[in-house]
Every structure is written in C-alpha cells, then in structure tokens.
Amino acid sequence: PGSSPCRSVIMVAKAVGVELNKKLLNLQAGEHLKPEFLKINPQHTIPTLVDNGFALWESRAILVYLVEKYGKTDSLYPKCPKKRALINQRLYFDMGTLYQSFANYYYPQVFAKAPADPEAFKKIEAAFEFLNTFLEGQTYVAGDSLTVADIALLASVSTFEVAKFDISKYDNVSRWYENGKKVTPGWDENWAGCLE
C-alpha cells in the first residue's frame, strides 16, 4: 500500500474492471528475496503481476498490459501511435524523473536516516516544473482524457503530498491533481495506501 507503483496498478485494474488478488510482501523482512518469489520475478521488485501463469513486473508495463488485455476500450492507452508515444513519454518521465526524484531525496532519509540533501530536493522541484509545463492548458497529462500516464503520475504525486511536499506552488499540477482525485477509479484506495 505504501508503494506508488503498486497503487497505480490497483487504480488501473479498477478502471478496467480487473479484480486483483493482492499479496502483501514484507520487504523489510526480505519476503521478496525468498526462492518462491525469485522464481516468479528474479529482479525481486514490486509490483509483480501474475496473470494465469504470465509474470510481469515494472508497474508501467503492467498498466499497459492491463489496459491492452482487459480494457473494454482503448481510452486509457489509445492505439494511435502519436497518442501512445506521448503517454509513453509521460510514463518514462514518471519512472526516470519524477518518481526517481522522490526516491533519491526521501529514501535515504527514511531508510538510512541520512540528512536531507538539498541538491536532491532541487531535482524534485525541477521535476515538478517539467510536469507543470506539460500540463499548461491541459486537463490531462497526455491528451484530452484520462490515461495510464495520469494514473501513474497521480500515484507518484499523491506520495509527494503525503510526504508534505508543497504541490500548491505548481498551479497546473495542483489543478490536474485535484481533478485526478475526482475522476480516477480507485483513488480512495490509493489515498488510503498513502496514509498508511
């Protein structure tokens, strides 16, 4: 529940009508390193999806898979190559820039009791500036309707909110975020996971 990548999968599953059989792994106890989990996912990361024997990890790949396999429409991940390219860019931005900036700044403080790194904090601010620019004049982050990119980014931004990062400095992000809370299936479960 504390993992934004896991929560993004939960929200997309809800959006496409897939009932997940969720398994909670205690990472601190090393449950993700046990042989039975390594057999499913040798990279031992979460989330990991197993769908009728097919194992897949990396949350953003799982989001796309869920929509392509179970979506009744392609609205969350349209078939148009240009629309998909924009969605993919935003998914990679989430993975490599926005969420990575969270991990680089907050994880050392939480897991290693390290002091806050002001340079890492500047990377968070830069990431939010980019996101704010992407959202200029836009209701959604990659087109004119809710997509998997919005859901992945919504999970990440909600994690920043619970960590007390001031989102209000970014007008476009704040507007998009407030809308996302209203229109995204599974938002309540996402927020409960953040608070946990």
Q: Which residue has the tokens 């790949």?
A: 61
More confident residue, 63 or 196: 63
The active-site residue, picked from 3, 59, 101, 156, is 3
Q: What is the mean pLDDT of the chain?
A: 97
pLDDT band at 174 (very low <50, low <70, confident <90, very high): very high
Predicted confidence at residue 46, as pLDDT, reads: 96
Contact 151, 118 (CB under 8 A): no
Kindly give the interhelix angle for 59-70 and 148-162, rounded to the nearest 10 degrees.
140
The predicted model scores a pTM of 0.96
Residue 45 to residue 47: CA distance in whole angstroms: 6
- pLDDT tens by residue, 85-122: 999 999 999 999 999 999 999 999 998 999 999 999 99
- pLDDT tens by residue, 119-157: 999 999 999 999 999 999 999 999 999 999 999 999 999
Class of 81-187 in CATH: mainly alpha
Residue 45 to residue 167: CA distance in whole angstroms: 28
Predicted confidence at residue 38, as pLDDT, reads: 96
Predicted confidence at residue 28, as pLDDT, reads: 87
Bond before 78 cis per omega within 30 degrees: no
Domain ranges of the chain: 4-70, 81-187
Residue 179 to residue 74: CA distance in whole angstroms: 21
Predicted confidence at residue 184, as pLDDT, reads: 98
Residue 34 to residue 171: CA distance in whole angstroms: 45
Quote the percentage of the chain above a pLDDT of 90: 97
Class of 4-70 in CATH: alpha beta
Neighbours of 140 (CB within 10 A): 20
Q: Would residue 59 show up in a list of annotated catalytic residues for this protein? A: no
Fold: same for 4-70 and 81-187:
no
